[in-house]
Structure 1
Amino acid sequence: MIFKSLDGKSYGAYKKFLRDEIFSFENFYFKFTRIQSDPYAPPSVVEAVCDHEFSKEVVKNKNPSEDFIYRHLYSSLKKRSKKSGSGNSGYLGVPKPSNCILKRSAVEFKGKKLILRFFVGLPAKGRRIDGKEAERILKIRIPKAISEVLSISEDSILEQVMLYNDQQHIREVLKERNAVAFIAEGSILPRRDSLSEEPMKGAKPFRCQESESLELPSGKVVRGLFIPQGLTVITGGAYHGKTTMLEAIQRGIYNHVRGDGREFVVARDCILIFAEDGRFVNSVDISTFIDKLPSGENTRFFSSKDASGSTSMASSIAEAIEAGFEAMLIDEDTSATNLLYKDEVMEKLIRKDPIKPLCNQIKSMIEKTGVSVILVSGASSTYLPLADKILLVEEYEPKALKVSFRSKAEKVEFKVPRERTFLGIKGLGRVKVKGFRIVLEISNRKYEIDLSKNPRIVEEGQVKLIARGIERFGREKTKAKKLAEKFNEALKEKGFEFFKKPVTPDLAEVDGKDFLWTLNRLPADFG
């Protein structure tokens, strides 16, 4: 390849010269799978196929091993990424990882090979090729970055493997003990700020009175709090850590890297339920909570383009049960309070209220569906006598609490919502991603959904995979829950290639339930 001959040519010449070019080195080679047409366009994609000397133990434990290698790939490329011309010239990189251990499309063990994928901004001066800089990038900077990744200490990878396996062991123990979450003593739950994943400096480590010990496969013994199945109420004064504790439990669906502070905060498959004024609702059965509307609308098939706080929250509960979540997390501060409870005076005053609050049917709901509920409540005692466990949080330390008074809430039989069928998105056009937002064209109109509202979504790569899932499954006709299962099966059996070919470096694994969560909030057809 003569780079001098490219120098000064029109930028489009990159495609002609690089399309079939393979760059070979001692223990790896790389090629371009996508070549940008303009220096201001999204960067090109390189795929490197590498021989490696990692042991079977590393390769067998793909999730933690690939995650660890990804973090080193990110760092190795970042320090060699250098603005060198117009547009994206000189950029080398992959998306910044969160503190969650995830499978990502940029790093994959395939057979005896290690595949690395990353972005490269082919250099230009204006809109003309910078041949000399291209040679430096392709013959020096990229090979050095790959070689650095291949020289990672295996011991450091196996440390993360051990941590990951300890975390997975706790997940198994949760099932054995009929618990929904575990929070280890010494965990740092608060974050530095609302935009940061890093632990707050000087934060008080988590402590609890009802501490139980647990021996892990590594030999490490941790002590902490098990939260049982059923209804758990977390109460206490403002600013004492109730919501922080709930947020940590939500993030406990993922394993975390060392140093995060929440390494041993582990939870079953749970979802935060909150009021979402203005959301789309598609044929959801909310009749157990809301019935006999003045409009006469049949709430077994409730739809709305602009749901209220109570109808949106009732819909989210029904959708969570339909999707098969094991637990719901509810915070009084972000809820429609008229769906949570109603005091005695208001019950007597309002005789024709179509809303039957959750407090009246929560015990029946748990019994009939098997779903658990963790509820943060600091302003009402309504749920305290109904709870299987009460935790009073003071200065980030939960203490078991018992109450002697009985519930005055009228008991109402919970009606399990009917299962819906997904009938596709009629008129589905282009699907784009902007950060944590998906922008869709549906019947020549634009719709936007912000996935940052779903606390289970922690990386933009997950948003991109959901967007690709909409393209693949957006015209399917199947049961809603089955659609989530099909999404998971496709990712497990066929990998990222099923969703995007050729595979780009910016995809991250996400649960099919979160794919369904997204469809539920779009103008889709459900029956």
Structure 2
Amino acid sequence: MPTDDDLYDLINDLDRQSYKAYKQIQGRYSFPGFVLLIDYVQGDPFASPSRLRVQVPQVSQQGKAIAGFPPELYQNRSRNIALCDYLTRQFEQVANDLRGKRGSGKSGLIAIASPGQEVLERTSVLVSDERVEARFVVGLPAQGRSILGRQAAELLCDDIADLVEKALFYRNLNARAIKRHVETVEDSDWLRQQLTAQNLVAFVPNGAILPRESGVSDKPLGANAGDNVKGVKDLKDSVVPFQSPKSLEVSFNRPNAGSVPRMG
């Protein structure tokens, strides 16, 4: 399998050639710690961006941790979806930090499916006992319709390697935040499964902030409020958390976070 050095040399050789010459880089490349797959190469800098994947083994052939995610974080469907969701968000955050304008059109773009507040089953990141795989798009750099070889080599060989290390290696992530995310999603799924047995259609936990910042925001009202000017009371202090009437209050003992009262 060609290596990252082979890809680097190939891209530099394409410098200033017609953009369609990028088609030559399609294929698989072995990087230290992961494999880069260039599945589709865009035909124009203004067209839909190129589609790439990275595959990171959980452990090396010598048994050394690479991605290294503990199996308990993805041991069931609920936890697997939660971990993939967390890694998608982490990947997007790091990609946004790395992304820079590198020419015409979509040049320099690095993007993955952007999740909202919902935790859903997606194919942007897949986790198994064997590997972690992330699927994303990249805008290959060009000036007009001429290849920018040096910028493309930096993007594919340096930035993506940095992105993989920061977003898909367990040792470089916040283990406590991952555990909390996975357990919260697992508890949420478990609670939804209790609705039918309890003859309920929904529930709202005590302490929930129900109003949103605006009609186009998922964030709770006051989430980004700072100190208001002219002595006006801080918006966060003026938001009233939800409190269930005692007559409608029910309690569930969640698998991870224990009991919490709520209206059902």
Question: Which interval holds the TM-score relative to the shorter structure?
Answer: 0.7 to 0.9
In the alignment, what sits opposite 1:208?
A: 244
Does the CA-based 8 Å contact 1:35-1:43 persist in structure 2? Answer: yes
Does the CA-based 8 Å contact 1:28-1:48 persist in structure 2? Answer: yes
Aligned-partner Cα distance in 2 for 1:110–1:168: 20
In the alignment, what sits opposite 2:73?
A: 58
CA deviations 1:206-265 (Å, max 9, x no partner) are 112132333221243211111xxxxxxxxxxxxxxxxxxxxxxxxxxxxxxxxxxxxxxx
The number of equivalent residue pairs is: 224
TM alignment of 1:142-181, pairs within 5 A: 142-149=160-167, 150=169, 151-181=172-202
Does the CA-based 8 Å contact 1:213-1:221 persist in structure 2? Answer: yes
Larger Rg: 1 or 2? 1
Deviation of the 1:189 alpha carbon: 1.1
Deviation of the 1:111 alpha carbon: 4.6
In the alignment, what sits opposite 2:25?
A: 18
Aligned-partner Cα distance in 1 for 2:128–2:68: 14
TM alignment of 1:185-224, pairs within 5 A: 185-201=206-222, 202=236, 203-210=239-246, 211-224=249-262
RMSD over aligned Cα atoms? 1.4
Aligned-partner Cα distance in 1 for 2:31–2:26: 18
Does the CA-based 8 Å contact 2:71-2:129 persist in structure 1? Answer: no
In the alignment, what sits opposite 2:51?
A: 45
> Which secondary structure does the structure 2 equivalent of 1:95 belong to?
coil
> Quick one: which amino acid aligns to residue 18 of structure 1?
I
Aligned-partner Cα distance in 2 for 1:14–1:208: 60
TM alignment of 1:29-428, pairs within 5 A: 29-51=35-57, 52-60=67-75, 61-149=79-167, 150=169, 151-201=172-222, 202=236, 203-210=239-246, 211-226=249-264
Deviation of the 1:172 alpha carbon: 2.5
Query: Which of 15, 27, 37 is matched with 2:33 structurally?
Result: 27
Aligned-partner Cα distance in 1 for 2:12–2:180: 46
> Which secondary structure does the structure 1 equivalent of 2:203 belong to?
strand
Instruction: State the TM-score, normalized to the length of structure 1.
Output: 0.41
CA deviations 1:314-373 (Å, max 9, x no partner) are xxxxxxxxxxxxxxxxxxxxxxxxxxxxxxxxxxxxxxxxxxxxxxxxxxxxxxxxxxxx
CA deviations 1:51-107 (Å, max 9, x no partner) are 121111112221111111111011011111111100000000113210111122210
> Which secondary structure does the structure 2 equivalent of 1:79 belong to?
helix
> Which secondary structure does the structure 2 equivalent of 1:135 belong to?
helix
Aligned-partner Cα distance in 1 for 2:182–2:26: 38
> Quick one: which amino acid aligns to residue 69 of structure 1?
L
**1:219–1:90 distance in 2 versus 1, CA, 3 Å:** closer
**1:128–1:219 distance in 2 versus 1, CA, 3 Å:** closer
> Quick one: which amino acid aligns to residue 207 of structure 1?
Q
In the alignment, what sits opposite 2:231?
A: none
Greater relative CO (CA pairs within 8 A, separation 6+): 2
Aligned-partner Cα distance in 2 for 1:4–1:182: 58
In the alignment, what sits opposite 1:434?
A: none
Aligned-partner Cα distance in 2 for 1:219–1:38: 51
Does the CA-based 8 Å contact 1:54-1:154 persist in structure 2? Answer: no
Does the CA-based 8 Å contact 2:187-2:257 persist in structure 1? Answer: no
Q: What residue ranges of structure 2 are gaps of 5+ in the alignment?
A: 1-5, 58-66, 223-235
> Quick one: which amino acid aligns to residue 25 of structure 1?
F
Aligned-partner Cα distance in 2 for 1:100–1:77: 20
Does the CA-based 8 Å contact 1:36-1:43 persist in structure 2? Answer: yes
CA deviations 1:121-172 (Å, max 9, x no partner) are 0000110000000111011111100111123233322211211121122122
> Quick one: which amino acid aligns to residue 212 of structure 1?
V
Does the CA-based 8 Å contact 1:28-1:49 persist in structure 2? Answer: yes
Q: Percent identity?
A: 29
Deviation of the 1:110 alpha carbon: 4.1
Aligned-partner Cα distance in 1 for 2:183–2:107: 40
Does the CA-based 8 Å contact 2:34-2:56 persist in structure 1? Answer: yes
Does the CA-based 8 Å contact 1:50-1:113 persist in structure 2? Answer: yes
Q: What residue ranges of structure 1 are gaps of 5+ in the alignment?
A: 227-527
